[in-house]
Amino acid sequence: MTIEVKDVDSLTEDEAVQALAALAAEIARHDQLYHQQDEPEISDADYDALRQRYAAIEDRFPDLVRQDSPSGKVGSAPSSGFSKVAHARPMLSLSNAFDDDDVTEFGARIRRFLGLDESDTVEIVAEPKIDGLSASLRYENGVFTLGATRGDGATGEDISANLRTISDIPETLPPEAPTTFEVRGEVYMSRDDFFTLNERQKSAGNKEFANPRNAAAGSLRQLDASITATRPLHFFAYSIGESSAVTGDTHWEFLSLLDRWGFSVNPLSRLCANSAEALALYREIAAGRSTLPYDIDGIVYKINRLDWQARLGMVSRAPRWAIAHKFAAEQAETVLHGISIQVGRTGALTPVAELEPITVGGVVVSRATLHNADEIERKDVRVGDTVVIQRAGDVIPQVVRAISEKRLEDSVPFQFPTHCPECGSLVLQEDGEVVRRCTGGLICPAQSLERLKHFVSRNAFDIEGFGGKHIEAFRNDGLIETPADIFRLANHADDIAKREGWGQQSLDNLLGAIEARRAVPLDRFIYALGVRQVGQSNARLLARHYGTYEGLALAISESTDPESEAYATLIAIDGIGPSVATDLIAFFSESHNRTVLEDLSEILEIEPFIQEESDSPIAGRTVVFTGTLEKMTRGEAKARAETLGAKVSGSVSKKTDYVVAGPGAGSKAKKAAELGLTILSEEEWLDMLGKVSTA
Ligand code: IVH
């Protein structure tokens, strides 16, 4: 089991979303079994453990509180809670930068994307990153009409009544404000108010809050707004949602408008002429951080020009035009009791530090990653050492260094195992790789178990109610060995029904959930295989390109010959390239895998890939860009084309639909002409896209 799964502190936000969804469903199922069917499947202690884990994750990610949050139901009459609000524009999160290099790379990426050179000025607005929870406020005709939590970014909860109790939030806006106007910002509690509130909670015999952010979240989540009114909450405004009118050309102008309209804008925010100025502000604020009346966990940099923001768009759930530069991690000293080795899905051996439990940045840490053998050697970390550990944002705790002055006299350097601790197979390190891997493949129980877990995981087959624990237990008892066995579990129904903790109902639920996944979209199927370097995004690229499982399997088998056209096509898929191709070909040629694949393709219905944007004229079409583009960079052109459902390829073939040729286009344009393909100028291409809504 990986430490991410075990440890709430090391969950990323995406993992937390998944964990909350899975736990909420699990808890609801047990509630139903207990209350409606009088047929509990688990002990009260196990049930409490589920709820505790849920609450711990929710405490850490107050922004992610779900509509169906089981924690909201504790001790209160069944209540529908807050009503749902679909956000008119998604509420985004931010990608993180942890050091100056990440910030420099952010600037460089933006210049590349927009096609700017060093002489162009890129202004940046730097703002403190407030450690609270975000809210969206909607004004219609100048009147506050609706306030919502972020929720999952697409849908939040209506907390209008609670937000109205916050004095920083104006009830009305001046006539110059747009008819429809949404502003987003952070609800937070000052440290002093937090301590006072906790005193009050304590003397009233109520639960104290762990930190100001949790206190703000707990206060905002009150179903009774009169309780919220007694909690001293504040609000800093920092971004826009839906708006019926344009609000200036830059983010800086927007902030000054907000200020004029009566919102609180963080006074430390500053317009910086370049990233060096932004970094200087970062250092200044970091140094004075502890003297601020409220918690901040970094500085957010935002590209000032709004037209550039629009062109930069977003990746996943975060804008390309902003980044959060996190403050350095909090550190602590503790003793390293041992180093254990985890074996992952692809055989990678990860050393894990087993520590004397210690509190770092408000949470207890007892394990930390040591990354790999080289890292242990470089840092010369030894069992028995006193070590410095740190937590940086959402990342798993790390061992920073050993304190040599405190080293025990008889300590010895750590010997990394030469054989897999799980199956005894030889451990090898491939050329150019830092990772050491177990060579046991599927005969290694750890690898095959991790592969099975990956196969049923949320972004793969997503089999409801069939988590890692079940997989492990079923595998240990010989009920499943390969992924296809999961779809044959019905043959073992009697065995399962007799197992402890299983009844007819839960068995039926499981078999139903498995059956529901017998038809699987191609991209999920590819991802579920767990090929090295093929995550969700590469799985989608492959699915989009090959369309069907048969098409993919044939293409990969033909690609074993590096001279073949199939291989040339594979590596030309933008984003794939020779390294991923090598892993794919190796996976598809390995004999155990071939058996598994044949078995699966017979037992499953692998659905052809469906283009998401079917109304786009370029959906499903293959496009090649060649020559110089004048209106945008290659990166931007590629991102736009892919957003509209096109496949972008690096080479021209019979299968190419459009070749967009700018000045200086050479052999590719010539080949396109020979093949009689449609060749477009950049102008014609943009005209074609112009007919499509990119909103
Ligand atoms: S901008 C596209 N600005 O940080 C706009 N966010 O890690 C995205 N946050 O969900 C947000 N201070 O809750 C922005 N000055 C600031 C912020 C800020 C705090 C929070 C916000 C967001 C989270 C992302």
Rounded distance, CA 235 to CA 134, Å?
9
Is the distance from CB of 150 to CB of 136 less than 8 angstroms?
Answer: yes
Check pocket membership of 134 for ligand 1, CB cut-off 6 A.
yes
DSSP three-state, residue 640: helix
Rounded distance, CA 268 to CA 311, Å?
27
What is the reported pLDDT for 394? Answer: 43
Atom of ligand 1 minimally distant from the CA of 266: 15
**Same-domain pairing of 221 and 305:** yes
Copy the structure tokens of residue 600: 């699966």
299: exposed, middle or buried (C-beta count within 10 Å: 0-12, 13-18, 19+)? buried
Q: Could you tell me the pTM of the whole model? A: 0.53
In which band, very low, low, confident or very high, does the pLDDT at 362 lie, cut at 50, 70 and 90?
low
What is the reported pLDDT for 49? Answer: 66
* pLDDT score of 300 more than 60: yes
**Same-domain pairing of 19 and 109:** no
**Same-domain pairing of 340 and 418:** yes
Classify 199 in phi/psi space as left (phi over 0), alpha (psi -120 to 50) or beta.
alpha
Atom of ligand 1 minimally distant from the CA of 129: 12
Check pocket membership of 129 for ligand 1, CB cut-off 6 A.
yes
Number of domains the chain is built from: 4
Q: Whose CA is closest to atom 22 on ligand 1?
A: 93
* pLDDT score of 74 more than 60: no
In which band, very low, low, confident or very high, does the pLDDT at 75 lie, cut at 50, 70 and 90?
very low
379 counts as catalytic: no
What mean pLDDT do residues 388-394 have?
70
Q: What is the pLDDT of residues 528-578, one digit of tens each?
A: 999 998 988 899 999 989 999 999 999 999 999 999 999 999 999 888 889
Is the distance from CB of 238 to CB of 184 less than 8 angstroms?
Answer: yes
Distance 186 CA to ligand 1 centre (A): 7
Is the distance from CB of 417 to CB of 427 less than 8 angstroms?
Answer: yes
Distance 95 CA to ligand 1 centre (A): 10
Q: Show the 3-state SS of 486-529.
A: HCCHHHHHHHHHHCCCCCHHHHHHHHHHHHCCCEEEHHHHHHHH
Check pocket membership of 311 for ligand 1, CB cut-off 6 A.
no
The residue out of 393, 408, 428 marking a domain boundary is 428
**Same-domain pairing of 57 and 111:** no
- Best substitution site from 129, 220, 302, 327 to test ligand 1's pocket, by max atoms within 8 Å of Cβ? 129
Distance 214 CA to ligand 1 centre (A): 17
Q: What is the CATH number of the domain that holds 397?
A: 2.40.50.140
**Same-domain pairing of 294 and 386:** no
Check pocket membership of 130 for ligand 1, CB cut-off 6 A.
yes
Pick the most confident of 209-213, 460-464, 513-517: 513-517
Is the distance from CB of 70 to CB of 217 less than 8 angstroms?
Answer: no
Check pocket membership of 59 for ligand 1, CB cut-off 6 A.
no
What mean pLDDT do residues 665-676 have?
88
Please report whether residue 323 resides in a domain: no
Atom of ligand 1 minimally distant from the CA of 314: 2
Atom of ligand 1 minimally distant from the CA of 128: 15
Distance 498 CA to ligand 1 centre (A): 51
**Same-domain pairing of 422 and 387:** yes
Please report whether residue 467 resides in a domain: no
What is the reported pLDDT for 361? Answer: 57
Atom of ligand 1 minimally distant from the CA of 318: 2
Rounded distance, CA 622 to CA 204, Å?
66
**Residue 681 lies in domain:** 622-694
Higher pLDDT, 341 or 391: 341
What is the reported pLDDT for 664? Answer: 84
* pLDDT score of 297 more than 50: yes
Is the distance from CB of 636 to CB of 694 less than 8 angstroms?
Answer: no
Please report whether residue 495 resides in a domain: no
Please report whether residue 367 resides in a domain: yes
Q: Which of 125-129, 370-374, 482-486, 690-694 has the lowest mean pLDDT?
A: 690-694
Distance 129 CA to ligand 1 centre (A): 6
CA max distance for the chain: 84
What mean pLDDT do residues 56-82 have?
60
* pLDDT score of 208 more than 70: yes
Rounded distance, CA 440 to CA 446, Å?
10
**Same-domain pairing of 215 and 360:** no
* pLDDT score of 37 more than 60: no
In which band, very low, low, confident or very high, does the pLDDT at 693 lie, cut at 50, 70 and 90?
very low
- Best substitution site from 186, 235, 294 to test ligand 1's pocket, by max atoms within 8 Å of Cβ? 186
Higher pLDDT, 498 or 6: 498
Check pocket membership of 61 for ligand 1, CB cut-off 6 A.
no
135: exposed, middle or buried (C-beta count within 10 Å: 0-12, 13-18, 19+)? buried
**Same-domain pairing of 158 and 262:** yes
Q: What is the pLDDT of residues 437-476, one digit of tens each?
A: 999 988 899 999 999 999 998 889 989 888 888 899 999 9
The residue out of 385, 410, 428 marking a domain boundary is 428
Rounded distance, CA 479 to CA 507, Å?
14
What is the reported pLDDT for 36? Answer: 45
Pick the most confident of 125-134, 285-294, 453-462: 125-134
- Best substitution site from 189, 238, 295 to test ligand 1's pocket, by max atoms within 8 Å of Cβ? 238
Check pocket membership of 127 for ligand 1, CB cut-off 6 A.
yes
Nearest to 157 by CA among 141, 180, 179, 134: 134
**Same-domain pairing of 253 and 310:** yes
What is the reported pLDDT for 47? Answer: 65
Q: Whose CA is closest to atom 21 on ligand 1?
A: 134
What is the reported pLDDT for 79? Answer: 31
Check pocket membership of 318 for ligand 1, CB cut-off 6 A.
no
Sign for the pseudo-dihedral over CA of 388, 62, 18, 324: negative
Check pocket membership of 319 for ligand 1, CB cut-off 6 A.
yes
Q: What is the CATH number of the domain that holds 683?
A: 3.40.50.10190
DSSP three-state, residue 165: coil
Please report whether residue 443 resides in a domain: no
**Same-domain pairing of 361 and 261:** no
Atom of ligand 1 minimally distant from the CA of 324: 7
**Same-domain pairing of 93 and 181:** yes
Q: What is the pLDDT of residues 578-592, one digit of tens each?
A: 999 999 999 999 988
Q: What is the pLDDT of residues 408-445, one digit of tens each?
A: 999 999 999 999 999 999 999 988 888 999 999 888 99
* pLDDT score of 14 more than 90: no
Q: What is the CATH number of the domain that holds 572?
A: 1.10.150.20
* Number of residues written out for the chain: 695
The residue annotated as part of the active site, out of 129, 326, 453, 668, is 129
What is the share, in percent, of the chain residues with pLDDT greater than 90? 57
Sign for the pseudo-dihedral over CA of 617, 622, 626, 632: positive
Please report whether residue 473 resides in a domain: no
* pLDDT score of 638 more than 90: no
Rounded distance, CA 600 to CA 592, Å?
12
Question: Cα dist. 592→385, 441, 597 in Å?
Answer: 43, 9, 9
What is the reported pLDDT for 1? Answer: 26
What mean pLDDT do residues 325-331 have?
84
**Same-domain pairing of 572 and 663:** no
What is the reported pLDDT for 354? Answer: 97
Distance 389 CA to ligand 1 centre (A): 27
The residue out of 428, 455, 479 marking a domain boundary is 428
Please report whether residue 627 resides in a domain: yes
Distance 50 CA to ligand 1 centre (A): 30
What mean pLDDT do residues 152-175 have?
94
Rounded distance, CA 418 to CA 430, Å?
14
Question: Cα dist. 284→11, 187, 301 in Å?
Answer: 30, 24, 15
Please report whether residue 466 resides in a domain: no
Q: What angle do CA 209, 213, 216 make, to 5 degrees?
A: 80
